[in-house]
Amino acid sequence: MRSLEVSTPWQEEEDVEVEDIELEKHAMNGRDDLTESSSDEATGRKRRKHGGSASSGSASSGTTTRRRKSCISARERNLRRLESNERERMRMHSLNDAFEQLREVIPHIKMERKLSKIETLTLAKNYIMALTNVICEMRGEEKHYTFQDVEDEEVELETTEEPNREQNNNSMFQQNLENHQENAMVNSR
């Protein structure tokens, strides 16, 4: 951590800003660990040991001139940044919660590790397609979609990752849906 240097007003503001960011980032990390450690233990969520990058490469370099337009103090800017970071963190956590909920409702072959985000989205899409097919079938219409593991011509589905597992899951979708379909028929009698 650098010490504060006394210099020209502009320089001083820049220096103070850098200093504040460093200071508050550490403060934030500490608070982060305190406030979120309990939920992290529950979810197994990983924590940053250090804050992220001090700057986002090229993006930050062009900001100094723009910054000077604003009449708010460096400290105020830092505060806003920290608040913004906090909101972004919360937003990403809620996004991750949504992913978790999605994982729970998608039938898939249980694995030792949880589904990645891209896998979750891909399977969700396939599941929706399978459900759509079932609805079409029940209505006596033609199926809308065909899957990769079906020999027929392919519609949609341009997935690239881990086709084997996906095929298994797609087969499972069909099987599950057929079972549900049968149950629905039985129950409706």
Token pair in block for residue 42: 């529950």
Q: Measured between alpha carbons, how far is 29 from 24 in angstroms, rounded to an integer?
A: 8
**CA-based Rg of the chain, rounded to a whole angstrom?**
26
Does 178 contact DNA by CB under 7 A? no
For DNA, the binding residue among 11, 37, 84, 179 (CB under 7 A) is 84
8 A C-beta contact, residue 159 and residue 166: yes
Q: Measured between alpha carbons, how far is 86 from 40 in angstroms, rounded to an integer?
A: 16
Does 55 contact DNA by CB under 7 A? yes
Does 92 contact DNA by CB under 7 A? yes
Q: Measured between alpha carbons, how far is 137 from 156 in angstroms, rounded to an integer?
A: 19
* Residues in contact with DNA, shown as a per-residue x/- string from 101 to 120 under the rule CB under 7 A: ------------x--xxxx-
Q: Which of these segments, 90-98, 127-135, 149-157, 166-174, binds DNA (CB under 7 A)?
A: 90-98
Q: By CB under 7 A, name the binding residues for DNA.
A: 21, 25, 28-29, 32, 36, 45-60, 62-63, 66, 80-89, 91-93, 96, 113, 116-119, 161
